[in-house]
Structure 1
Amino acid sequence: MTTATGSRWKLYRRTDWRLSQIRRIIAEVDSLGGDRLFLQYPTQGYGWSLTPHLLCAYYSILRKARFTVVLHEFSGLSKKARFAATLMIRTAYEVIFTNSFEQKQAARIDKSIIQRSRVVKIASNIPVAAMVPPLSERKYDLGYFGHIRPRKGLEAFLSAITQIRKQTSGVACVLIGQVPAGFKSFAESIVAQCEALGVEVKLGLSDSDAAETLANVKAVYLPFPDGVSERRGTAMAALANGAMVLTTTGEFTTPALRAAVVDIPSLDAATRILEALQTPHEELALKQAAAQHFLHVEIPSNWETVASAYLE
């Protein structure tokens, strides 16, 4: 949670969001001052606590405060989580969505949200590397980038690598990622499979080191279960560092983003990936130009720009 006075921000963080702590949380937030409050939701740190929802109702309804919920995801939430998010949507002074699709999905439940919400797209945490070599000079042919946890497309990535290895051993592969809390055993299984397939593993890199590695990957395969979208920071980071993004598309994929990536259907993904790696130079140049145009027009260049947009 953050508070803002003018353009000055104060960050409020805590690990204990139990309902029994709500009085203390309110006192601590009030001590920060500020005439606006912004709550990022959902985040793993809240767990299943309803405290953020009650804070939203308390500040928006009882205190008449300018309490804004920045809703990063709605349509992809479970039924239970979506119900909880709906409580926020209906009580918040304002809701900021990260893309227009999520805003429209929320409006199906509460039409009034259109008048109380707006869209502010997110930036990537990963910078552009200091040196971005041409694709022909990159160390790795194919990579994966993201959190090492279930439902992130890792299984599909490893399945594709397994099939690729049956056809050729000449594709240099790398897995770049972070292991969220609670997924150590899952990550160990993934690492073991990577080692068996000859995939180099780079975990826990700093943002700058992750960018340097991405800038040395020709193509990043990100088979998102629901298709690529603007809120997929991993895809945005890969595009920014000049890699081809091989991915799945879906209802969340805008026409501009679709032009910037290479659609790889799940069926026979390995063959399609190998074909993409053989794309002629002229076609690659056009795809990279489309990617850079998309990033320039559609995606904020940094979080300072995003923060300023929050205050508009």
Structure 2
Amino acid sequence: MPFLTITFPEIDPVAISIGPLAIRWYALAYICGIVFGWIYARALIRSERLWGGPAPIAPVQLDDFILWVTLGIIIGGRTGYVLFYNPAFFIQNPAAILKLWEGGMSFHGGFLGCVAAVMLFALKNNISILSLGDITTAVAPIGIFLGRLANFIKGELWGRTADASVPWAIVFPDGGPLPRHPSQLYEAGLEGLLLFAVLAVMVRMGALKRPGLILGSFIAIYALARIASEFFREPDPQLGFLWGGLTMGMLLSVPMIIAGGILIMMAWRRGTPQHIEKSIQGRP
């Protein structure tokens, strides 16, 4: 047992309470992630320097897209959890699928929901699917970071048991008597802060001028960060470890590495669109 453990902080699961209205930290994380992401995305769109000319997406189009991506995250996240993590339970209790307040969202399902929202909105509005995907994924780590913090506050998705070499191990209320890795914070750092920093640097270096580059980089880097985090995260009890000690999170991330790599290679081979090259060359 570790020589030092940290007591899990007693945090009220309700972040804001106004009369009968109660907003929990998890819901607040979603709200703030979408709002902060929208603000950052508008700033990226308005900077012609980052695109080498006018952005292929208008601010008003981004405003309309927010509703689409929000629905994609919620519907996709819930559907992914039902199909990937606990199908047997929901087959027996179909009404529970709609009880979102009881928890149960899948990142991989939410990501697929976002992909669907991006493609449908881009086709409907005749804008670049890849560029809209770049903007969406450039801001996505903000929501991931806040979501993982909410997981920690809620005391869910805790890590595996830790030994004496982990003095910051925590005894979670529902995680048994043994101290565990705060894997939610590991994921917040890797999938949130680190991924955001890498993509922000790429954006500043002109990655948005190559449609699909940010999108592919997000997919691949997130998948690698998720696989690394899964080595410290306790698998979902209804699934446990799969083949060879793998987890569902690891398996779902492998196709993302492949897809991300393909998008990155295509973006580099495609190069900078001609209208952007001409815009850059025409400047003094």
TM-score scaled by length of structure 1 = 0.30
TM-score scaled by length of structure 2 = 0.32
Q: Is the strand fraction higher in 1 or 2?
A: 1
Q: Is the helix fraction higher in 1 or 2?
A: 2
